[in-house]
Structure 1
């Protein structure tokens, strides 16, 4: 076993992802992960875990679009075929629905991506300080 394998600790992925979904620190689960809507803190205020290593970039936005598109497109077709609402009514309802769902999912998916990187010790998360 190499020296780096002995130094790295096993970090369970699922609990980290659930903490990320709640926008909490993937290490302690009680400190806030985000300092604003999407700004990741440099360190956890509770356990002092370094969080500045993350590389979430465009991943949360891509996942949000993927999920919202796959949920709303079939729903749009179902509503249109079943009730045939006026086009402006249909547009208004689905524009508000897509916007609301996107705003709900985006910070949660960002937390999950940061937590996944922490659990897998990617991008410097596994280095000891």
Structure 2
């Protein structure tokens, strides 16, 4: 996945953050995943329209992409289900994830366009456990 595609997937409510990252050549998900809290605060100081919540979501999506190879839309889905870090993913089970995704789809009355199977969820949780244990 190239860097422009990574930022292009973001919804319109991320337009200010996206514009800031493009302007400052921070379009690579590897760079975005390495942003520290200090870096995020600096971005917010430089561009008042960038929100802390959106910046942290972008970083979390980039970390999921980099560490577990989860596509940005799938990572965004995890965020909406309350899974915002490798640690929280490692502490859940594939059954819980499946239930959370189903609940989200029912509450939104929408079927997600991602091809997430139970085997995929199992792989994500296993990989998150490996990463979390190695930290």
TM-score (norm 2): 0.25
Structure with the larger RCO, 1 or 2 (CA within 8 Å, 6+ apart):
1
Larger radius of gyration: 1
